[in-house]
Amino acid sequence: MAGFLCLYNKIAEVMQMRFSKMFIPTKREIPTDVEIESHKLMIRSGMIKKSASGIYNQLPLGLKVERKIENIIKEEVEDADFREMLCSALIPSELWQESGRWARRGAEMFRLEDRTGKEFCLGPTHEEVFTDIVRQEVSSYKQLPVKLYQIQSKYRDEKKPRFGAIRTKSFTMFDAYSFDKDEESLNKSYEEMIAAFKRIFDRCGVKYSLVEAESGIEGAPSSIEFMVKSEIGEDELAICSDCTYAANRESAECMPREFEAEELGTLEEVHTPDARTIKDLEEFFGAEGNRFAKTIIYYADGKTVTVVVRGDREVNENKVKRAIGEVEEFGLATDEMVKDVTGSEVGFAGPIGINSDILLIDEEIANGKNLITGANKTGYHFKNANFGRDFEGTVGDFRNVREGDKCPKCGAPLKIRRGIEIGHIFKAGQKFSENMNAMYRSEEETDEYIHLGCYEIGTERLTATIIEQNFDADGIVWPLSVAPFEVEIIPVNLKNEDVVNTAERIYKELKLMGVDVLIDDRDARPGTKFKDSDLIGIPVRITVGRDLKEGLVEMKFRNSEERELISAVDAAEIVRDRLL
């Protein structure tokens, strides 16, 4: 019979899982130009092979892990009613021009022309292509939601490819897109996909945190990153030491620090000729950073934006940008601009009497008492400056969180950790459909823009992070769910016919049971086989050797030092039952 099961049964049946025929080029030597463990181990175990900086080919063992991860993803997202399709990686520039991203995407996008001069990019992501398909095929609310995904090669011209599969120019990505008629329906798709992503990462055996994130320059209204803590991560995370709160530092919040109750002092101008930095001022005034109102001036599309935070804080520019709305140009003001706004030399800015288009006051400043701040007059500062009495401004959260700040949800201390993003989901909302005119006819006979949700997992990066969390001195220690094989059988001596026959019998029995089993049938020394076995990290190892005289074989789990002698006759069944 044809059909699903039979198709796959046939693959399982014909697939030779013999080391001698698998092309697993393991290596003893540790590669030199390699910085992290997963990269070393993926090279040493023969999973990947480099073609150029940031460009890797997946060898059979690496691809087997990739396929296991892909299958877990497919199962979970099919369950959430997403359907698989496959787009070309070549995307015509018109679609990106329509969305407005052709100009905004920088050097990270590979661009090329065909022989007629028509421009294309190599897709780093596919919002435009999917939106284009859906706008052509969907006209009525009755056809929504549409939920689609693909698993495909993506391309990004990374400035500095590094860390092996973590940051590459060419990689495999699962990307999914939900098209909903309204926000409520989008929220449902979004929540269902958060649950699906959790199941995917749980099944892959990776430890991760859900992190509230700013999305990139596309500025989506709401997004969640799935992050793995790692020293090599590019993102900084604020993670609560007690509750589940976690956020990208770019958008993380914390409770404002409290001030001791204190009488308001009289505003007083102080001559401070040589003190311009907070450090100088701390010495001069004999006070700590938290007593200062630090004043930073930015420009934004021709306007000046002044931000006031406590002296021991940094301004979070992201929060500032969110507060002032979308701008094209944003940056620190030049010295000239500072002089214009303050009417003084650089180093004496303060909120009192400043001539700025926009004045943003961090809530810790608004709550503060008797602060020290610049007087907008060269060589002078104020003492006892107080919000409300001495200056006004728009109050909000404009500060970066720091290690030890209080969690905004529960008040426990926050930790700052580096992390790697393995998954990202965000609500693009109506942004793409407005730009690309993707509309549907509603039940009320009006034309409405479709709501888009986007969902991404970098599969090779996920593989690398799983290894980062699962290795020891001898090699990889795969979780069962994503191991390239579940069981490895090692016949110790190929010259002993009993050993070979028993190993082959157990191998065939396990295959018939549907277990993913490798037999190391190479004519190699036992030491080589054991070293390779530890290196490639198959969860269960069955050694057929000297104990066979007593009718026994050895079973050992990769994540434990214990060895167990089991009946050679029943070995397959025993192993299968232990895998359940």
CB atoms within 10 A of CB 437: 12
State which residue, 75 or 335, has the beta carbon closest to a copy of itself: 75
The CB-of-422 to a copy of itself minimum distance in angstroms stands at 20
User: Could you tell me how many residues of this chain bind a copy of itself (CB under 8 A)?
Assistant: 84
State which residue, 2 or 217, has the beta carbon closest to a copy of itself: 2
Run of H or E residues at 137: helix 127-137
Site for a copy of itself in 170-209 (CB under 8 A): 170
Site for a copy of itself in 475-514 (CB under 8 A): 480-481, 486, 513-514
State which residue, 130 or 382, has the beta carbon closest to a copy of itself: 130
Which tokens is 218 given?
């596309």
Candidates 55-63, 230-238, 243-251, 262-270: pick the segment binding a copy of itself (CB under 8 A): 55-63
Listed in sequence order, the DSSP H helices in 138-267 are 183-203
State which residue, 136 or 266, has the beta carbon closest to a copy of itself: 136
State which residue, 159 or 271, has the beta carbon closest to a copy of itself: 159
Site for a copy of itself in 246-265 (CB under 8 A): none
Candidates 70-78, 327-335, 433-441, 550-558: pick the segment binding a copy of itself (CB under 8 A): 70-78
Task: Compute the distance between CA of residue 432 and CA of residue 438 in angstroms, rounded to an integer.
Answer: 8
The residue among 122, 105, 108, 211 whose CA lies nearest residue 425 is: 211
Site for a copy of itself in 75-104 (CB under 8 A): 75, 78-79, 81, 83-92, 94-95
The CB-of-444 to a copy of itself minimum distance in angstroms stands at 19
Task: Compute the distance between CA of residue 459 and CA of residue 68 in angstroms, rounded to an integer.
Answer: 10
CB atoms within 10 A of CB 115: 5
The CB-of-41 to a copy of itself minimum distance in angstroms stands at 17
State which residue, 48 or 341, has the beta carbon closest to a copy of itself: 48
What 8-state DSSP symbol labels residue 258? Answer: P
Task: Compute the distance between CA of residue 414 and CA of residue 403 in angstroms, rounded to an integer.
Answer: 6
Task: Compute the distance between CA of residue 154 and CA of residue 125 in angstroms, rounded to an integer.
Answer: 7
Q: What is the 3-state secondary structure (H, E, C) of 18-66?
A: EHHHCCCCCCCCCCCCCCCHHHHHHHHCCCEEEEECCEEEECHHHHHHH
Site for a copy of itself in 508-547 (CB under 8 A): 513-516
The residue among 441, 359, 426, 429 whose CA lies nearest residue 392 is: 359
**Does position 230 bind a copy of itself by CB under 8 A?**
no
State which residue, 149 or 398, has the beta carbon closest to a copy of itself: 149
- The answer to whether residues 372 and 285 touch, using CB atoms and an 8 Å cutoff, is yes
Site for a copy of itself in 303-362 (CB under 8 A): none
Site for a copy of itself in 101-160 (CB under 8 A): 107, 110-112, 114-115, 118, 120, 122, 129, 132-133, 136-137, 146, 148, 152-153, 155, 157, 159
